[in-house]
Structure 1
Amino acid sequence: MLTLLAACNGGKSTPPPAVATYTPSTWEALPPVSDNDLVAGFQAWVSSCVRLTKDPVWAVSCSSAAQVNATPEAIRTFLQTNLQVYSLRSPGKGDQGLITGYYEPVYRGSLTRTSTDNVPVLGVPDDLIVVSLDSIYPELKGKRLRGRLEGHVLKPYDDATTIASATTPKAPILAWLSSPMDLQFLQIQGSGRIQLDSGRQLRLGYADQNGYPYKPVGRWLVEQGQLKQDEVSMGKIHEWAQMHPERVNELLGSNPSYVFFSVRPDSNESPRGSLNVPLTPGYSVAIDRKVIPLGSLLWLNTTRPDGSALVRPVAAQDTGGAIAGEVRADLFWGTGDAAGELAGNMKQSGQIWLLWPKGAALPQIH
């Protein structure tokens, strides 16, 4: 997923490669957690195991975890028996990193174009070519090249401005929104719901992307002198757009990335992250998979936007184009406006510990 506040911190769109240090630690060194958070975080991680059964690192631990009673005592015994604690650190910054938040927005819209709902939400274009580079270059694991064919030559795909200004889109139109800012935030979050007049909520999930690196719209506002860096939030960006409608296209044009969606089955489950399991509000995080493998169990120590402590185990079940760094996580808060308020204001300092199976080789940084 591409997430908002992670992107609003003014960081570079193409950060240098992460080089994490996994420093051995102890269970006693971890900040204490409540019994409720311990159980909820552990259960969120166990939900990952459906995707980890063939992973040689996690297969044995997942098999054992399935037999653990959902009590704080049993969970603590399992964790301390099976897992080793490593503090995540970054060169020059130590164990402190950035913890942000994301959510699943709900926007009003329509399945047909109307006088007010006239911003299309696009599916994957038929002419989008995606090439997985790691089939030839293993060191480029997870890297994909996106473009379109002109004759026999693969050219870069259209940027966001070109796609948005097309009279006839080259992709299926899944729905219509009333605001280009709603579409931008839907793309940044990577999934969402559209509230239809019928009462149904159309569920949309990330399907693909046009190949351009994400450039934070919040950073553009800072560069333009419109906001100070510590002011950037989803609410402030919305306010600026409402006050400067004549510059919205300029704002959106600063980000060449464009996300394409697919329609997901109607259900009340949370959106699925990159691990393809439903995210657990408050206990699933997006991470930089160059540092933390998907499916990992982490111990998070940070604060809520109001400054109150937030300490809990969390499951690494998602990724995002703006989530890059050694000590870096994006916490999923859930669906709707209340979750959006938390996610939109979360830009906290924090620490992360990796809980890794005993005897397993540590992750290799790509």
Structure 2
Amino acid sequence: MSKPQATPEVLRSITAPMLATLAVLLGACLSPNGGDTSTDVNLSSDTGGVLSTSGASGSSTFDEIMTTTEDWDTSAGSGSESSESSAAEGSSGSGSTSDTPASCGDGVVQAPEECDFGIDNANDAGCTADCHLATCGDGLVQKDVEACDDGLNDGAYGGCAVDCKALAPHCGDGEVQDDYEACDQTDPKTGCIASTCEYAKSCKQIRDARPDDLMLQDGLYFIKPLDAKLKVLCDMDADGGGYTFLKVALPGMVNYNAAQAEAKCKEYGMQLLVPRSPEHVAAAVMIANSTLLVPLGGGSAKSDLNYMKILGIYPAVENMTCMDKPLNSTDCPQWKAAGDKFWVTDKGVPGAPGAKNCVKCSNAYYWKVEGVLDFYETPWNAGVGAETGLFMCDTGDKMPL
């Protein structure tokens, strides 16, 4: 049976108002919003087109044919369904960090963090301040786990063991490393400076290495001004401490003048004694009287005030004098000593120092047992000055405060 065909008469009977009414009715039926004409409607291809309505003007037109199953064109702009869907998916979810960088210290491990202990992050903890796991070789010492970490950990002197569990051989381990250390002892009387593992060259260096040691006392110490160790007596109190004393006793009836005594002291890396202050003089006289320090040089006298008979104080030029003036660097600048500052007395002695003297000649000094200068004189003695078989050397590096 053939399909009925619309005759020209029927088509002509459909007027324009009838077509408009039909379009409105079809739009209302097919729209998910009922009669809301503010929303676009896709018509089936069977209708012969797409009805687009504009809620603002109420007008309507036919567009190209589209199917009702197609989505809105995603290229239409930010108002399209696809764009809105993508935005919704991007804003939902739990872990997008593209706009929020990892925060070391918040207690949450986020790449590139290896760990995060929050406020417990520290460079001596298992998680470092920059959120890296502590490891041997990172140059940080982990508390209660590593003894050291120098970044190399090759066991070389002064460094760290390969596992960071111990220090490599070092100054302070009690073992002398011949290639690096002269000594390794903590007892200051050995003369070893514990912080450097080198021998002190003077009592002052021992004192300076232990400035807060209230137990550091006067007494016998070893020092090493040159190649050989010497036993000296250190005064650790006078003028803040650090004066060095070495006794020299020549054998038999041998006597030295000041120039010869200076040469002998130099063999020990020292100089002929120069007293610097009243306190230094008192200490020197006490040590001259003491039997504690055994002298060098072959002689045997331990206690004798003649250890103070000559001193390393000389006229600046031959026959220079400051007669009747106190013999110290302030009142008698015409006389000089190594280190400039010297002190023998603050009272003048009539006729002393004499006007006939030589540049490398010492006065002869005579002392009372209590440490007070009795008198002194300037012997010419054929141009060599005073002589003695007993004298003291010092290092010359300690000055009054």
Place the TM-score, normalised by the shorter chain, in its bin: under 0.3
Structure with more of its chain in helix, by fraction: 1
> Whose strand fraction is larger, Structure 1's or Structure 2's?
1
Larger RCO, structures 1/2 (Cα 8 Å, 6+ apart): 1
TM-score, normalised with respect to structure 1: 0.20
Q: TM-score, normalised by structure 2?
A: 0.19
